Amino acid sequence: MSNIHIPKTWEISEREVTPEAAFINRRRFLTTLAGAGLSIAGASVLGYPTESEAKTPPQIDPNLMKFESFERNPAFIKVDRPITDRAVAAKYNNFYEFGGSKSIWEAAQALPTEDWKVEVTGLVRNPRTYDIDDFKKKFPLEERVYRFRCVEAWAMVVPWLGFPMKHIIDDVEPTSEARFVRFISYYNRKINKGPGRRTSHPWPYTEGLRTDEMANDLAFFAVGIYGHELPKQHGAPIRQVIPWKYGFKGAKSIVKIEFLNYQPKTFWNTLIPHEYGFESNVEPDVPHPRWSQASERMIGNGPAFTWKRRKTLLYNGYAEQVAHLYDG
């Protein structure tokens, strides 16, 4: 996240941010030209690209397992903008455990995802440890196309595959004191080199929600994307997707979920509290201290200045489903 400001170890001035982004995008543009045809998206039933992927096989790991049986949730088949090309989404990532640029997709292949376990603990009646197959067996998998909005003002639209977080709530039964939830990402200092000097970063990456936010139908755990399992750079094998909040609220590669009676400290909020609040809903009228949030750019092939600009929507377009959570 070139725009997310990591103080001290990784100080980049505001003036430097734009050239860096332009540099990365110029490189991507050249790669795109070299890969001729990359930007021409074919269409599957849902409209996400298949043809372009076939033309550029190295873009996506061909060994990613494809999901055979899942429902497309009819309430989330389409949004008001086109689905992002899967190769674009897979090569423009924020995953700080693997570095501070958008180009971490190769480094992220070092993430060991075998025998993955997710421990759910804290103020619950039935603490549990799940493996990924448990999730697939216990909770019917569904596909949902969601808008996704990064706090840095870039956006995408992707079809996630997974299940609503509320299924876990039903399974573990939090007690009445459990008002907050902490989500903890995988971290191993030998594997996750991170950006800059790691000592000043509050690893592991953690995020948090209120329990009633987690219980909202939109709050989702993704185990797949575009019909296949999550590539490592997207947070394999399981990540949060909270579509009405900025993207950093969705932790990747989750290993632990804790129900708490206090608001937990989180990664970005600990590093820079005045820029990254705990709530962090998408709100066009509330600027980031260093840039406006009134509009966003849909990531695409080619340099960033060619990306389509859209007006930011309140709660990222999900006000009907979530505005009541913030009454008063």
Least CB distance to ligand MTE at residue 186 (A):
8
Query: Closest CB to ligand MTE among 108 and 168?
Result: 108
CB nearer ligand MTE, residue 52 or residue 206? 206
Distances (CA, A) of 328 to 274, 283, 323: 22, 16, 10
Cβ 169 vs Cβ 215: under 8 Å = yes
State how far the Cα of 43 lies from the Cα of 22, in Å rounded to an integer.
Answer: 29
Rounded least distance, CB 324 to ligand MTE, Å: 26
Residues that bind ligand MTE (CB under 6 A): 1, 93-97, 150, 185, 205, 234-235, 247-248, 250-253
Comparing every residue's Cβ against ligand MTE, the nearest one is: 247
Of 205 and 318, which CB lies nearer to ligand MTE in the complex structure?
205
* Residue among 130 and 154 whose Cβ is closer to ligand MTE: 154
Query: Closest approach of Cβ 238 to ligand MTE, in Å?
Result: 11
* Other beta carbons within 10 Å of 299: 23
List % helix, strand, coil for the chain (3-state, nearest 5).
25, 25, 50
As a whole number of angstroms, the distance between CA 252 and CA 259 comes to 18
Q: How far is the CB of 205 from ligand MTE (least distance, A)?
A: 4
Evaluate whether 91 touches 59 at the Cβ level (below 8 Å): yes
CB closer to ligand MTE out of 123 and 301: 301
Q: How far apart are alpha carbons 104 and 270 in whole angstroms?
A: 23
Q: Tell me how far, at minimum, the Cβ of 73 lies from ligand MTE, in Å.
A: 20
Residue reference for tokens 């039933």 = 45
